[in-house]
Amino acid sequence: MKILIKNKDINEALIKVSNLGFVPTMGSLHKGHEFLIKQSKKKCNQTLVSIFINPTQFNNKKDYLSYPKNLKKDLNILKKLKVNYVYIPNKKDIYSSKRKGAIVLKKENRVLCAKFRKGHFEGVIDVMDRLTNIIKPNKIFMGEKDYQQLLLVKKFIEKKYKTKIVSCKTIRNKEKLALSSRNQLLNKQDLIKATKIAKELFHFKIFLKKRKKIKSLLQKKIVSLKKNFNVKIDYLEIRKKNNLKSSLSIKNSKIFIAYFIDKVRLIDNF
């Protein structure tokens, strides 16, 4: 496994690689990331994983500073998975060039996390543009756990590059909680809370399949989650899978949630 730090290292290492799979991460790797890596290894000749906590996608400095970091453990995981390259760039290298033209989300895309985390997806798209330009992968593997991110990045990258975005299912623990690096920030009790919420929403989706008055059921669910779990909810909404337009039926749609347990913001979709 080669560790690459500088952009120059990337150019030298990848010059003869064809069909390269790229898995962008912010580290603190878990089985969700491992699944993406395994998919890349299956579908590509070589796999590169990046570990970069991108400052520009954090709309809150404290959130950025407290983001979990476990580089040593991550490298062990990647070695075991027999990843070919790990790219650990520094901020200066990624942001050495000024971008031409700001990234502006269309009004119709300013929903869910785009509405609640101002500048977040602009930061995500910018860094994905920079990473794709440096790495020039054939495929990028991304998780449905961050569904809105997946759709926005896919649209941008596939329009600008030949690179294809491959979407990968969300990996959950046995009790339906989506694996997330941020789960590490939760204490035992809060982890139980997050698990109960995930289970509840999983069953809620099945329940909604046979119902009509979805809007009022959603409102009731928001009230009950707040009351039973003492969480702050940014949104609990049903939106179409293909374009994230608001939906009044669960058909071809997903339930999206973003909520806080104390200061930890979690997102999921079902």
Residue pair 259/233 in contact (Cβ under 8 Å)? The answer is yes
- Which candidate in 30, 33, 120, 203 is catalytic? 33
DSSP the chain: -EEE-SHHHHHHHHTT--SEEEEEE-SS--HHHHHHHHHHHHHSSEEEEEE---GGG-S-HHHHHTS---HHHHHHHHHHTT-SEEE---HHHHTSSPPSS-----GGG--THHHHSTTHHHHHHHHHHHHHHHH--SEEEEEGGGHHHHHHHHHHHHHHSSPEEEEEPPPB-TTSPBP-GGGGGS-HHHHHHHHHHHHHHHHHHHHHTT-S-HHHHHHHHHHHHHHHH--EEEEEEEEETTT--B-SSSTTEEEEEEEEETTEEEEEE-
Nearest residue (CB) to ligand AMP, 146 versus 217: 146
Sole binder of ligand AMP in the list 20, 21, 25, 67 (CB under 6 A): 25
Q: Among residue numbers 177 through 236, which ones bind ligand AMP (CB under 6 A)?
A: 178-181
Sole binder of ligand AMP in the list 41, 120, 139, 145 (CB under 6 A): 145
Which range touches ligand AMP (CB under 6 A), out of 24-32, 61-69, 185-193, 226-234?
24-32
Give the nearest distance from C-beta 142 to ligand AMP in angstroms.
4
Nearest residue (CB) to ligand AMP, 174 versus 209: 174
33 tagged catalytic: yes
Size of the site for ligand AMP (CB under 6 A): 17
Q: Among residue numbers 29 through 58, which ones bind ligand AMP (CB under 6 A)?
A: 32-33, 35-36
Mark 149-188 with x for binding to ligand AMP (rule: CB under 6 A) and - for no binding: -------------------x-xx------xxxx-------
Nearest residue (CB) to ligand AMP, 117 versus 145: 145
Q: Is 81 in the site for ligand AMP (CB under 6 A)?
A: no
Q: Binding residues for ligand AMP, per CB under 6 A?
A: 25-26, 32-33, 35-36, 142-143, 145-146, 168, 170-171, 178-181
Catalytic residue ranges: 33
